[in-house]
Amino acid sequence: MSADIVTFGCRLNAYESEVMRGHSAALENTVIVNTCAVTAEAERQARQAIRRLARTRPAARIIVTGCAVQTDPAAWSALPGVTRVLGNLEKLRPESFAEAAPSAVSDIMAARETAAHLITDFAGRTRAFLQMQQGCDHRCTFCIIPFGRGPSRSVALGDLVAQARAQVAAGFQEIVLTGVDLASFGGDLPGRPSLGQAVRRLLALVPELPRLRLSSLDPAAIDDDLWRLLAEEPRLMPHLHLSLQAASDLILKRMKRRHSRAGAEAVIARARALRPGIAIGADLIAGFPTEDEALFAETLAFVEAMAIPFLHVFPYSARAGTPASRMPMVPKPLRRERAARLRAAGEAALAQFLAAQTGTAARVLMETATEGLSEHFARVRLNRPAAPRITLTARITGAGADHLLAEAL
């Protein structure tokens, strides 16, 4: 018996929820809510879930943790039904889940180490998450996450290999490398190994791992080893997701991002040259403060010209205490309208990308009996049932607006 867990936010939160699932094995009638602070909407959804739990499970203990709690513990502690709040350091410690443990939120900015946790069960997921890194040393003007996650800290290479081996032994066919600022991996480790060096070692020392996928990367920080792996290593999936945020140089400067429009274009062009057919994804913020129609048009034109099929678009959300929250705001309806226009451009690029797959063969990791993911992160619907968690070869016979149709070979 363990606590029920409600998770909001990123893959790193999903990974940490599994850590807490193990730590809370002895707790009964307890719900852990793992919050996200990226947007006001993510916080609103978490508050709504807590209030609903307080109504529907009045006898349950509600423990709340995550980035939103780390940045404002008092506000979350005051919500109805909440019996304990835990910071992002405390939620990974087993003693925090003892019956009589108190609320605790440490100074995350003083954090220096990232603990390794051997996680081999992901609540029914078919892909395993492997935390490589935690925290961020950059200060983008829109982002509250460094204050919820602390400085950048890396997991030791030996621990990564041990975890990957255990996850493959547990039956996972694909591992997704996760972190807050994945490309900064290694800066705090002896010898300062790069992300590419770590990925190369992981693939070499875990030859039984069929598929390795990267999560979001800063386009200004992709190292030469990682470029070589993208070109040469078939087990590294042909899928590059970039933390772009915008493609207007003026907006990027006001965001304090480290890349330019030309730099982002060069990264995408290099990826496509090294790995023909690679799937490109991007995170984008619509309606950043001071963004007028002309500046927005620069980002929209970039998305259309570069034909980016996998977009993750957020309307800008002001985070208290960040520099951007003090800049002149774009009206919320306009932010939503611009987000919709970016998503429409991404949907058109996705339809084009998927249509080009017709007639090709794909290796599909089955997530349900009839649906899975290709190497390119495209959703594939199979013509006949297959066992979840297996990887099979299929011929792509057609494409819908957001998925591929295939028959198993």
In a domain, 113, yes or no: no
Instruction: Copy the structure tokens of residue 303.
Output: 């998305």
Instruction: Copy the structure tokens of residue 248.
Output: 């207007």
Task: Tell me how far apart the alpha carbons of residues 51 and 6 are, in angstroms, rounded to a whole number.
Answer: 13
Clarify whether residues 204 and 261 are in a common domain.
yes
In the chain, the percentage of residues whose pLDDT exceeds 70 is 100
SS3 99: coil
Clarify whether residues 87 and 135 are in a common domain.
no
The structural domain count of the chain equals 3
* CATH number (domain holding residue 341): 3.80.30.20
Cβ pair 362, 393 in contact under 8 A: yes
DSSP secondary structure string for all residues of 114-168: ---------TT-SSEEEE-EE------TT--HHHHH-S-EE--HHHHHHHHHHHH
Domain end point (choices 106, 138, 168): 106
* CATH number (domain holding residue 69): 3.40.50.12160
pLDDT (mean) for 99-105? 92
Domain end point (choices 316, 332, 355): 355
Clarify whether residues 218 and 241 are in a common domain.
yes
Cβ pair 395, 231 in contact under 8 A: no
- Nearest by Cα to 73 from 104, 102, 110: 104
Phi, psi of 302 (to 5 degrees): -65, -45
Instruction: Copy the structure tokens of residue 143.
Output: 């982002």
Domain of 17, in residue numbers: 4-106
Clarify whether residues 316 and 177 are in a common domain.
yes
- 164-188 pLDDT per residue, tens: 999 999 999 999 999 999 999 999 9
Task: Tell me how far apart the alpha carbons of residues 373 and 10 are, in angstroms, rounded to a whole number.
Answer: 19
Clarify whether residues 96 and 190 are in a common domain.
no
Clarify whether residues 81 and 171 are in a common domain.
no
Neighbours of 299 (CB within 10 A): 26
Clarify whether residues 155 and 280 are in a common domain.
yes
In a domain, 111, yes or no: no
In a domain, 117, yes or no: no
In a domain, 135, yes or no: yes
Clarify whether residues 366 and 349 are in a common domain.
no
Terminal CA-CA length for the chain: 42
Weakest-pLDDT range from 111-125, 159-173, 249-263, 367-381: 111-125
pLDDT (mean) for 34-53? 96
Q: How many residues does the chain have?
A: 409
Task: Tell me how far apart the alpha carbons of residues 242 and 67 are, in angstroms, rounded to a whole number.
Answer: 22
Angle between helix axes 224-232 and 195-205 (nearest 10 degrees) is 40
- 375-394 pLDDT per residue, tens: 999 999 999 999 988 999 99
What pLDDT shows up at residue 150? 94
Whether residue 38 is predicted with pLDDT greater than 70 in this model: the reply is yes
Clarify whether residues 50 and 132 are in a common domain.
no
Task: Tell me how far apart the alpha carbons of residues 13 and 18 are, in angstroms, rounded to a whole number.
Answer: 9
What pLDDT shows up at residue 1? 59
SS3 223: coil
Q: How confident is the model at residue 346 (pLDDT cuts 50, 70, 90)?
A: very high
In a domain, 222, yes or no: yes
DSSP secondary structure string for all residues of 323-351: GGGGSPPPPHHHHHHHHHHHHHHHHHHHH
What pLDDT shows up at residue 356? 96
Task: Tell me how far apart the alpha carbons of residues 118 and 394 are, in angstroms, rounded to a whole number.
Answer: 33
Clarify whether residues 281 and 314 are in a common domain.
yes
Task: Tell me how far apart the alpha carbons of residues 290 and 374 are, in angstroms, rounded to a whole number.
Answer: 39
Clarify whether residues 330 and 292 are in a common domain.
yes
Instruction: Copy the structure tokens of residue 5.
Output: 């867990």
- 182-214 pLDDT per residue, tens: 999 999 999 999 999 999 999 999 999 999 999
Task: Tell me how far apart the alpha carbons of residues 274 and 167 are, in angstroms, rounded to a whole number.
Answer: 29
Number of H helices, E strands in the chain: 12, 17
Q: What is the DSSP letter of 103?
A: P
pLDDT (mean) for 283-295? 98
In a domain, 175, yes or no: yes
Q: Which residues of 210-229 are buried (b: 16+ CB within 10 A; e: fewer)?
A: ebbbbbbbbbbbbbebbbeb
- 237-261 pLDDT per residue, tens: 999 999 999 999 999 999 999 999 9
Instruction: Copy the structure tokens of residue 126.
Output: 């078919």
pTM here?
0.94
Q: Which residue has the tokens 């730099």?
A: 263
In a domain, 297, yes or no: yes
What pLDDT shows up at residue 99? 87
In a domain, 115, yes or no: no
Q: What is the DSSP letter of 381?
A: E
- Nearest by Cα to 382 from 358, 357, 401, 406: 406
Clarify whether residues 53 and 169 are in a common domain.
no
Q: How confident is the model at residue 342 (pLDDT cuts 50, 70, 90)?
A: very high
